[in-house]
Amino acid sequence: MKRTVSLSVNGATRTAEVEPRALLAHVLRDDLDLTGTHIGCDTSQCGACTVLIDGRAVKSCTMLAVQAEGCQITTIEGLATNGNLHPLQQAFWEKHGLQCGFCTPGMIMTAVDLLAQNSNPSEGEIRHAIEGNYCRCTGYQNIVAAIQAAAATLRGATPARAAS
Amino acid sequence: MIPQTFDYVRARNVGDALKALAAKDGTKVIAGGHSLIPLLKFRLAQPARLVDIGHLDELRGVTEVRRGAKIGAATTYRDLLESKLLAERYPIIAEVTSGIGDLQVRNKGTIGGGLAHADPAADMPAVMLALDAQLVLRSKRGKRTVAAREFFQGAFSTAMAEDELLIAIALPPLPRGAGTAYVSFEQAASGYALAGAAAVVKRSRSTVAHCTLAMTGISDRPYLVRAAEQLVGTQGLPDAIEHVAAQAAAGVEVNGDIHAPADYRRHLAVVAARRALQKAFVRSKK
Ligand SMILES: Cc1cc2nc3c(=O)[nH]c(=O)nc-3n(C[C@H](O)[C@H](O)[C@H](O)COP(=O)(O)OP(=O)(O)OC[C@H]3O[C@@H](n4cnc5c(N)ncnc54)[C@H](O)[C@@H]3O)c2cc1C
Ligand code: FES
Ligand code: FES
């Protein structure tokens, strides 16, 4: 049976009429029109659907919308402030950390969680952190470079020279 | 998409959850949902109702209990990795946890959910056996403690009754100076263990004084390798370790599937056991 769920998404309270079986990924896309969150596999593998739940990266295809009530949800649409891209978005652009871009929103949301825990991750730590995000285009090289560059920006350092 | 409908309630406290389970009306617990939701998508679980315990602070966190530790059942893998107490007293917990799933899975998956699910290829059960963890279960009928060594009864099958909730995992102190290690061969796509070995070794000067070895991924449930006792009294030299490791899957009905035929899995068991024993031995204090 449908019920009203009240979700806090990107700082605003949004409501939707959904069944308990509705996955958060679907509710974000279909009910709240936040289509930046992608659905690649629907089987908890690819990470395209990653959003932040109370600051932690979570695969939204593996969470019920009702489970997210009372949590702070952040999607890719919530990262830019006043029209300025988040340093990770900027770095993915500058380092060309994408090709088709399908994996990019999930990749960036995972990286937000990583950089909140570790402001200066090594290449190995970055690759371990994005293990649950599949990219079928880039070969990951520029994704790693983009995350390193964003980490430098967030630390207030001069961005490292392009590795590629 | 989940094809089948169900009802959902969020427990306000443990008592609430126990009441929902006592109804025995097809209610199932959901913690992180990272085993259950995939099952629901494939109709492999068809509960009438879910009771959510994922938000209950009383089930989360790691606390010091004398020289041991107690872990709330709904503690996420992420919280285990961030626990200083566990890092200090049971470094094997971080060693196994960092290899479970990926960052997102560890943010949501809980230790209790993983143990209750009892996937025969899950990593944590072997470590729980090696550490002799005690699982605290509660229902409206009362509270009881079951040793991890008695808890797993087959693939996806445990000693828990339908109305019981796993509340906490109590870890007894490790023998002083003991070294620990978890080694696994992962299935390349899923990360689950094709073969995983958890070892605890204590030395007293140059002689092995205590040795425990537990395996996962090999059979329908995790198990202790009795032959581990044969390392006690030896110098822990490669020959002695090899002798024990060679028995890692002795007398066990070994799984064979598309990921690994039984004879290959048996071979991996021996190699994982050898490496875990060697690491634990080297890490133990002389
Ligand atoms: C992509 C992916 C990769 C993974 N890789 C690995 C891996 O490499 N190694 C590994 O070991 N595991 C792996 N897992 C499994 C993961 O460890 C489990 O999903 C997780 O631990 C289960 O915890 P949960 O809180 O999500 O449980 P849930 O999905 O909420 O519940 C699982 C089961 O346990 C029951 N349950 C939950 N909590 C309790 C409780 N307190 N008392 C009684 N019953 C309870 C539920 O009713 C359900 O039957 C992976 C999972 C995913 C999705
Ligand atoms: S769509 Fe969620 S992990 Fe692939
Ligand atoms: S850019 Fe195409 S999947 Fe990553």
> Which CATH number covers residue B41?
3.30.43.10
- pLDDT at residue B126 greater than cutoff 70: yes
Please answer yes or no on whether B107 and A21 come within 8 Å at the CB atom. Answer: no
Q: Could you tell me if B116 and B67 lie in one domain?
A: yes
Identify the bridge partners of residue B152 per DSSP, sorted by sequence position: B158
CATH number for the domain spanning B256: value is 3.30.390.50
- Average pLDDT over every residue of A111-119: 97
CATH number for the domain spanning B72: value is 3.30.465.10
- pLDDT at residue B284 greater than cutoff 70: yes
Tokens 């293990």 correspond to A131
Where do the CATH 3.10.20.30 domains begin and end in chain A? 3-77
pLDDT computed for residue A162 by the predictor: 45
% pLDDT > 90, chain A: 94
Domain A87-155 sits in CATH at 1.10.150.120
Q: Could you tell me if B43 and B61 lie in one domain?
A: no
pLDDT in tens, B199-214: 999 999 999 999 999 9
Can you give the C-alpha Rg of chain A in angstroms?
Answer: 16
pLDDT computed for residue A158 by the predictor: 55
Is the pTM higher than 0.80?
Answer: yes
CA distances in angstroms from A58 to A70, A137, B102, B144, B253, listed in the order given: 15, 22, 10, 34, 37
pLDDT computed for residue B189 by the predictor: 86
- Average pLDDT over every residue of B228-233: 98
Distance CA B57, CA B75 (A): 9
* Domain residue limits at B42: 7-52
Domain count, chain B: 3
pLDDT computed for residue B190 by the predictor: 87
pLDDT in tens, B61-85: 999 999 999 999 999 999 999 999 9
Q: Is B116 in the pocket of ligand 1 (CB under 6 A)?
A: yes
Q: Could you tell me if B28 and B79 lie in one domain?
A: no
Pick the residue with more confidence: A163 or B139? B139
Q: Could you tell me if B117 and B218 lie in one domain?
A: no
- pLDDT at residue A164 greater than cutoff 50: no
pLDDT computed for residue A163 by the predictor: 44
Query: Is any Cβ of chain B less than 8 angstroms from the Cβ of A129?
Result: yes
Q: Could you tell me if B163 and B65 lie in one domain?
A: yes
Asked if residue B126 is part of any domain, the answer here is yes
Q: Could you tell me if B127 and B186 lie in one domain?
A: no
Considering only CB atoms, which chain A residues are within 8 Å of B2? 21, 23
**Average pLDDT value for chain B:** 97
Asked if residue B87 is part of any domain, the answer here is yes
Q: Please give, rounded to a whole number of angstroms, the shortest distance from the CA of B234 to a CA of chain A.
A: 38
Q: Could you tell me if B275 and B226 lie in one domain?
A: yes
| Nearest atom of ligand 1 to the alpha carbon of B124 | 11
Where do the CATH 1.10.150.120 domains begin and end in chain A? 87-155
Of all ligands present, the nearest one to the C-alpha of A139 is: 3
Q: Could you tell me if B161 and B193 lie in one domain?
A: no
pLDDT in tens, B23-42: 999 999 999 999 999 999 99
Please answer yes or no on whether A21 and B54 come within 8 Å at the CB atom. Answer: no
Q: Could you tell me if B62 and B134 lie in one domain?
A: yes
Residues sharing a CB contact under 8 Å with residue B248, sequence separation 6 or more, in sequence order: B197, B213, B215, B218, B225, B227, B269, B270, B272, B273
Task: Count how many Cα atoms sit within 13 Å of the Cα of residue B152 in the half-sphere of its side chain.
Answer: 31
Q: Please give, rounded to a whole number of angstroms, the shortest distance from the CA of B2 to a CA of chain A.
A: 6
Considering only CB atoms, which chain A residues are within 8 Å of B108? 53, 56, 58-59, 62-63
Please answer yes or no on whether B2 and A23 come within 8 Å at the CB atom. Answer: yes
* Residue A22 binned pLDDT confidence (cut-offs 50, 70, 90): very high
- pLDDT at residue B225 greater than cutoff 90: yes
Asked if residue B19 is part of any domain, the answer here is yes
At the top level of CATH, the class of A3-77 is: alpha beta
Q: Could you tell me if B113 and B33 lie in one domain?
A: no
Q: Is B106 in the pocket of ligand 1 (CB under 6 A)?
A: no
* Residue A1 binned pLDDT confidence (cut-offs 50, 70, 90): confident
| Nearest chain A residue (CA) to B49 | A20
Asked if residue B96 is part of any domain, the answer here is yes
- Average pLDDT over every residue of B127-140: 98
